[in-house]
Amino acid sequence: MLRLRVKEVAHEKGMSMHRLSLRSEVSYHVIREIFTNPFKVINTDTLNRIAEALGVPVTELIEDVPSKGVSP
């Protein structure tokens, strides 16, 4: 299962939700949803715009976490 690290990276960069929304041209509503639900499904264009606004590669915004109830 993939988890978005947008909130953590934005905090590391000192960027608020509002500023990230403005710089990425992604609506504040979507940014807020991503911050509150790191498992939210978003399209690759949105992810690319957020990564560019934060100055990081897309791979830094994605974390692979084990799914609950799934044995390795």
pTM for the predicted model, two decimal places = 0.89
Evaluate whether residue 22 is within a structural domain: yes
Evaluate whether residue 70 is within a structural domain: no
CA distance 22 to 60: 20
Give the number of domains in the chain. 1
CATH number of the domain residue 45 falls in: 1.10.260.40
Domain holding 18, by residue range, is 2-64
Evaluate whether residue 52 is within a structural domain: yes
Evaluate whether residue 12 is within a structural domain: yes
Tens digit of each residue's pLDDT (9 = 90 or more) over 29-59: 999 999 999 999 999 999 999 999 999 999 9
Evaluate whether residue 72 is within a structural domain: no
Percentages of the chain per state (helix, strand, coil), in multiples of 5 = 55, 10, 40
